[in-house]
Structure 1
Amino acid sequence: MAEIKTKSKKNFTSYLDSEALNGSEQAILNPKLLSGELEVARARNVLLFSPTSKIKDDNGIAGVLVVTNFKLSFLSFDGSHTSSIYQENIFLGKNDVTLSNIDYIYQMNDRKKRLVAPNIKILSKLDVLHIICKNFRVLKFGFKRSEVGKGKHIAEALAKFAFPNRHNLLFSYNYKENYYNTLRNISMFNKKMDWSHELLRCGATGWRVLSREREDNIPERTLPMHYVIPKTVTEIEYVKLAESFNRSRAAIWVYSLENASLVRMAELIPTITDTKQENKMLELVRKCDPMMRQPCIMELNKCLPSIQEVQASFLKLRELCTPDCTRQFMVQDVRFYTLLDKSCWLFYVSLCLKYSNDAAMKMRGRETVVLQENEGRDMCCVISSLTQILLDPYYRTLNGLQSLIQKDWVSLGHPFSDRLGHVINSDTTEQSPLFLLFLDCVWQLIQQFPEEFEYSETFLTTIWDSTFLPLFDTFQFNSEHDRQYAHKNEHLILRPVWDWGEQFSDKDIVLFTNPLYKKPAEQSRKSMAFLPPTAIPLPGLHQTGSRITMHVTQMATVTNQLPEDRFLEPKTTIRDLELWTQCYFRWQPLLEIKNGGYPQIDLYNRIILSNISKLQQALQSHDFDDLPTPTNESENVINGVGPMPSISSFFPFSGNDTNSNELADILTLSYDLLTDGSIIDGLSLSQIPD
């Protein structure tokens, strides 16, 4: 990563000319600019093409293309840029992408294709810009109708602003809008109290929090100010031992199950050939177990891919999911599974799930597990996080997942800036989407255990998109040290990405929850509604007594495939895995199923919950006038609520033809049911009898 301590220079360059500010279109077609956002280039009469369409004048949508120091924005003359895709980010329009999201830019002229980069000459006559984004989005812009030189004009601006060589050139340093923290139930793990609470929650009595009062006392900048070490060692002894490990990252506790602990540890410095110091550290870990059992060491470098291998796999996967044209799509489609197999992506997902499951099984057997890799902040993050999700139902909740990412990824120093390519430096081998690999593994778990997760695949996809939104600091830095330096010395305003109300309205946030989620018994909040003596209880609920509860016998019957303690044991072979189509294919119109796909099923489940919510309210208020009335008019009518809303397979990331307000009402009702507790707390839809 480029050194972020370098002071920013007053070297802003605008590529605007006076001609670009003329014309009636520009009076109307101006992008919404944020505080600190500046327009740097503009081109009129640009054509936006579909990702796989041929580059012809009659195939594109005409409009204005604008580059700012934050985003690339296209505004169509016909107003189609304002038409609704259901998920609407407050900071980005339908055809906007942040500069941080741009990975590759190609300039095309007379069928010649060349890369656009800061040190590569731009063609004087440029017909097409082909942009590949890190989140698999593809954008094609044609300039044949534009004024001469405008294609080069835009390309030069992108080459300058989309590939910063210093961290303080990111837009987050210019965005000075005040932020008022409203987060309440998410642990940020940047305070001693958060780690102390986690130790208490896990019952980890053999460990303690090591805190540094000042940042200059931290032995290595990748370490946070607070982390957990063995209780039996003094701070001085621990720091001295840690000097023998890469980045001074010796044994660091992250989780405990009964007396078994999950520990992360770097490898010894390559110049140290004697393992004496490592053995001393492992002995300290052993003493943290009341039974003094030897810990199991998992050497991740030997069983999992390197960051370079993951990056190579990602590029192959993205190439498969972003065809240039219909012809390439058809050629790839014939050999799709062969090409997918050659990318090794699902193979790496399989390996991560396998070794996470191995670690979880050992901990269930009361064996402490030490995860060891080079610096202990790459694959350690992946395996540690997945292991905790398999073991602990809390991390399958919305707040739990966000707290887990804060603990294992953000606080303990996963180098997000390097791995996601926020800053371009000479060492391109540092870029590797390990965080996407983790999210894909979580998505696989949701497919296998849909009742066990409070969050949905839409939530995971949205998290991935948010890694390229530099307004929020969560995924922008290599370490807590870098974050705090930018905050204090560069006056960066810190905004956690987890405050989703900053980005989305309620209609979008409701889709972060999973309607099939079944809360653990200890978390379920029973409704206080009482049944009238003459009422007929809902199926699956007690008929005796006044309080609405669930049949314990029925719950036991339905969940017998899961251990009583709700540990997850996933299938990990490649044949048991699927491709995360929502995340990888959502920008390809050719692959979208109109009025079909899993989102239609998900919506059906939410409508059922909405109707149950209405019935509950009617029972409580004794007012049944607003209840749906049965009808036989159409198979697409559900209990009289009207026609079934039609959404497509990439909802909510694709075009939406359904009335958004009507859809939002349905989703909001089901969301209230899921989050506020109800008569079916702990009862998933799959448990309701036919």
Structure 2
Amino acid sequence: MATGSGNGSGGSSSGTASTNHHHNNHHLSIDMPEHRKRNTFTSYVAPLPGDLRLNEWSLPSDQRDVHLAKPRLLLGEQIVASAPAYMYSPIDPMESATSSSNLLHKEAIFGLLSVTNFKLAFVPLQMARQAAPNSSASAAPLSDLYQENTYLGRNEITLNNIDQIYTVAELGRAASALQAARMTSSRRKKLEPFKQQTINGRIAALHIVCKNFRLLKFAFQQQDSKLSGASDYGKLIASALNRFAYPTRHDLSFAYAHREAYYYSSLGVSGVSMYQTKNDWARELIRCGASEWQVVSSANVPLLQNPLQAGKYTVPPHFVIPKCCSIERYLDLSRAFCDSRAAFWVYSYGSSGAASLVRLAELQPAAQQDTKVENIMLELVRKCDERKQLKLLQLTDRLPSIQDVQRAYQKLRRLCTPETPEKFMLQDDKYLGLLEKTNWLFYVSLCLRFSSEAAATLRSSITCVLQESNGRDLCCVISSLTQLQLDPYFRSIDGFQSLIQKEWIALEHPFQRRLGHVYPLSAGANDQFHDSEQSPVFLLFLDCVWQLLQQFPDEFEFTQTYLTTLWDSCFMPIFDTFQFDNHAQRARAAKDGQLVLRPVWDWSEQFSDKDKMFFSNPLYQRQRASDMGSSGGTGGNPSGLRRSLAVGHKHAASSAVTSTPSRYTINPQLFATQSTVPQDRFLMPAHRIFDLAVWDQCYYRWLPVLDIRGGGQPQIDLFHRLLLSNIAKVQRCLDLQNFDELPDAYYEAIGEAKPKRSPIAATEEAVADQEPIEYVDGVERRRKSMPPPPSTPANGLHTAVNGQLQLSSLSSFFPFGNPIAGDAPHQLYDILSSSNELLLETSSILDKSSIV
């Protein structure tokens, strides 16, 4: 490879450039005077982190064309800068400092590092891994076994995900390899956005700390600064990241350049309620039996449409207020509260929907001395309660501030992203103490505690008012957790997404500021905005939900993989769901910036059916279809009977869809005081710190040193799916009275060999596959044929040993872990495929038409 490339493209390839270095140096030593001799050699061998002068061998010939390793670009995506680089593991092995050059070469991956207006992409130059010699020719590729995003590769991150950039200065010539490995931390320098700081010396490496707890480490080739046209690749990449990873305006986001059209797959099938219309809120009032409240649309209020008056209010497009209060009086009272957030109804509980959950902001600083307006607002809320009782939960003094949450998050992330093996071992020795000092689990405990208190208040038929400074941060957390504990509908995937739309999107949690999507120039001068406004409140909520999943594993339709993916999706600017502070910003972006609005809930835009399969909990138990409420909730079942999905009826899901009314019409006869929310499906979680755990899949999935093969929750989940697959096969054999396809586990249990399939059975199955197509609401439904049972290899994914199933190749961070080798991919894919039929019929997440 030529050494004089300075345009960031990685240079042009040359078959003899590297080998000519030694000849050039030899001639220099003979023909040139001593004072003009200098070393012009460029090393391309994977160095130790921070020491790039230790090895003096050129790359093999098959790795010289680094410019060919170009990233895949989306519509509107452009490359800003590129450079050849080595990517290292987040924690280099402890023996790296004393390893040979061949081992060092294996520890690093050589390729092209590129910065675009959308992502930071590393494309390895090495060829794809060959399939194992003993694997089947039809085995599924490795990419089919791990979560593969349509927009991002495995070694790519969005610019929105980048939080901190550290530069590592180049070591002197006299530094040893051991010093290089140990001095990495001390030579790291944080790259501050918007500050024209001078970078002294060359940049040998970059450490990228991501908001989703990922640590990326890149090292660059050493080049002599005196060579004509030489480029400092590290400075080139660092400058591009500093310019594009911290946008000063939202319209600089890649979402505005990506103009790919978005089309809903189907309309008319109710799934996720977006709460973008008045009917969405009215339907929720009907479901909860909240007859003392009314929906107000800002577009229908003349005062809010007056340009001279509209600026005084920051209310959402649709909100629910007491019926006993006129809209004009309500708006007049709301001006005394922060962000005009007076009492907003969000939920009601009880047989008659009498007890309500209400969100309320605090008074403006100028009005805090006079609480008359607040007392009037609380009295209006009290009148909506059947028993005229009310409990006020003041969250500002009881829960952490957004600054406290940000500090706890930063401490937790530092604990989860050690940059050296020495630091990892040092933290490991006192891990529990360091974890306690982060206060993260303490804040999770507080959120669960006060949400349980709010839920208990509603169960006592007493209205609960949640009050916070602006009513848009911790109010979202407590309100959402309260409804999760009370209402089983919100524990389904569609219900949970509807809950986020209602509590976080429609009522305008400031995602843009809290997740750091924008860094205004006015704040960049003194670096105050980043510290005071950014706070991962949504991650705190997701962690609380994960704790509920651990305590009630069969009550939730979604899995921890779904929650982890949801956190990652917060940094995908292609989807508008988590990119704005309020509806006004979103509407302005769609109108003026021609932004294509694309909801994140349409998971088919990002993932295949195989990936979405891991979003559904195989042991989730849904109520009978006849007991499902009109909005997807459950009700009318005092005994609380539920059926197991493994032995459920084939058309239960279709019956639930058929009984669901249209989203665009509301039957006035349904508006009664009787709530359809079940009263016997509430949860009472443990909230003390020693009852909680660390969400290891989300926080530690990027640390290979913590990966446990054949252990962890993914191992249990796969066993559940295997059991679900076997039960589905047995159920089908019973339905068809054809026992030729009994699962292998049956014959293993009775100790008999599985009989070969008869030609008659094959003929009967071929006839059965030609049965007439069934249509439900105009949607074609076919019974998916079960794949043939796999042949169990000698050392495959599952081998019966003493009657026990062995899954030793599975990563504990699956589907985010390291690749699986050997026969494991094919066997794992078979388990997923064989359980696909039942999951498709019972889980709404796999149906793209559920997005409305």
Per-residue deviation, residues 628-668 of structure 1 (Å, max 9, x unmatched): 23236998339999975731100000123165454334224
What SS class does the counterpart of residue 817 from structure 2 fall into?
Answer: coil
| Counterpart in the other structure of 1:287 | 383
> Does residue 612 of the first structure (1) align with residue 727 of the second (2)?
yes
CA distance in 1, matches of 2:391, 2:450: 13
Q: Which runs of 5+ in 1 are unaligned?
A: 1-14, 526-539, 550-562, 679-690
Given candidates 63, 76, 96, the residue that maps to 2:111 is 63
Q: Does 1:48 align with 2:87?
A: yes
Match for 2:373 among 273, 277, 286? Answer: 277
Shift of 1:319: 0.6
Contact 1:600 1:646 in 2 (8 A): no
Aligned to 2:54: none
Equivalent residue in structure 1 for 2:820, among 657, 670, 680: 657
Query: 1:16–1:42: 8 Å Cα contact kept in structure 2?
Result: no
User: What displacement does 1:480 show?
Assistant: 1.1
- The answer for the alignment partner of 2:159 in structure 1 is 99
Does structure 2 retain, via aligned residues, the 8 Å contact 1:244–1:277? yes
Distance 1:669 1:60 in 2: 38
Alignment correspondent of 1:688: none
Distance verdict in 2 for CA 1:520–1:145, change over 3 Å: farther
1:77 corresponding residue in structure 2: 125
Task: State yes or no: 1:172 paired with 2:249.
Answer: no
The verdict on how the C-alpha distance between 1:96 and 1:417 changes in structure 2, with shifts beyond 3 A counting, is same
Deviation per residue, 1:270-317 (Å, 9 max, x gap): 101211111111111011113322x11111001000000000000010
Out of 265, 273, 279, the residue aligned to residue 193 of structure 1 is 279
Aligned pairs (5 A) from 1:454-465: 454-465=557-568
Corresponding residue of 2:458 = 363
Distance 2:361 2:625 in 1: 37
Match in the other structure for 1:676: 841
What are the residue-to-residue correspondences of 1:234-383 with 2, within 5 Å? 234-258=326-350, 259-272=354-367, 273-293=369-389, 295-383=390-478
**Alpha-carbon deviation of 1:612?**
1.1
Match of 1:554 in 2: none
Shift of 1:16: 8.2
Measured after TM superposition, the shift of residue 566 of structure 1 is: 1.3
**Number of the residue aligned with 2:766:** none
Partner of 2:655: none
Q: Distance in 1 between matches of 2:388 and 2:679?
A: 28
CA-to-aligned-CA distance 1:159-214 (integer Å, 9 cap, x gap): 00001111111111111000012374001111111101110111100101000227
Question: Using a 3 Å threshold, how does the CA distance of structure 1 residues 233 and 547 change in structure 2: closer, same or farther?
Answer: closer
Q: Which residue of 2 aligns with 1:17?
A: 7
Distance 1:645 1:622, change over 3 A: farther
Name the stretch that deviates more: 239-248 or 650-659: 650-659
Contact 1:37 1:70 in 2 (8 A): yes
Partners in 2 of 1:464 and 1:297 — Cα distance? Answer: 31
- Once residues 129 and 96 of structure 1 are traced to their aligned partners in structure 2, the CA distance between those partners, rounded to angstroms, is 15
Q: Which amino acid aligns with 1:369?
A: C
Contact kept in structure 1, 2:452 and 2:685, CA below 8 Å: yes
| Structure 1 pair 83–41 and aligned structure 2 pair: CA distance change class (3 A) | farther
User: Is 1:471–2:574 an aligned residue pair?
Assistant: yes
Aligned positions of 1:499-518 closer than 5 A: 499-518=602-621
Alignment of 1:209-228 (within 5 A): 209-213=295-299, 216=305, 222-228=314-320
Three-state SS of the structure 2 residue aligned to 1:290 is coil
Measured in 2, the distance between the counterparts of 1:388 and 1:638 equals 46
**Letter of the structure 1 residue corresponding to residue 320 of structure 2:** V
In structure 1, distance between residues paired with 2:627 and 2:69: 50
CA contact (8 A) 2:146 2:611 kept: yes
2:233 corresponds to which residue?
150
Q: 2:242 aligns with which of 154, 159, 175?
A: 159
CA drift at 1:617:
2.2
What one-letter code is carried by the residue in structure 2 that aligns with 1:616?
A: Q
Q: Contact 2:8 / 2:82 at 8 angstroms: preserved in 1?
A: no
Aligned residue pairs: how many? 631
Q: CA deviation at 1:136?
A: 0.3
TM-score by length of 2: 0.71
**Aligned partners of 1:452 and 1:517 also within 8 Å:** yes
Change (3 A) 1:619 1:148: same
User: Structure 1 stretch 51-60 or stretch 496-505: which is displaced more?
Assistant: 51-60
Distance 2:382 2:336 in 1: 19
State the shift of 1:227 in Å.
0.9
Cα distance, 1:380–1:523 mapped onto 2, change above 3 Å: farther
Q: Is the 8 A contact 1:638 1:644 kept in 2?
A: no
Identity rate, percent: 49
Paired with 2:839 and 2:730, the residues of 1 have a C-alpha distance of: 15
Q: CA deviation at 1:157?
A: 0.3
Correspondence 1:135 to 2:212: yes
Q: Look up the equivalent residue of 2:697 and give its one-letter code.
A: Q
Change (3 A) 1:16 1:484: farther
SS at match of 2:76: coil
Post-superposition CA distance 1:555-587 (Å, at most 9, x none): xxxxxxxx9711100001001000000000000
Alignment correspondent of 1:418: 513
> What SS does the aligned partner of 1:512 have?
coil
Letter paired with 1:40: V
1:548 deviates by 13
Query: How far apart, in 2, do the equivalents of 1:107 and 1:225 lie?
Result: 45
Q: Report the secondary structure of 1:437's partner residue.
A: helix
Q: How far apart are the structure 2 equivalents of 1:169 and 1:548?
A: 48
Secondary structure at the aligned position of 2:621 is classed as coil
Quote the residue 1:114 is aligned against: 189
Query: Given the two structures, how large is their TM-score scaled by the length of structure 1?
Result: 0.87
Question: 2:29 aligns to what?
Answer: none
Equivalent in the alignment of 1:530: none
Contact 2:8–2:83, Cα closer than 8 Å, also in 1? no
- Point out where structure 2 has 5 or more consecutive residues left out of the alignment: 14-63, 98-103, 130-140, 172-182, 224-229, 524-528, 629-642, 653-677, 752-791, 844-852
- SS of 1:464's equivalent in the other structure is helix
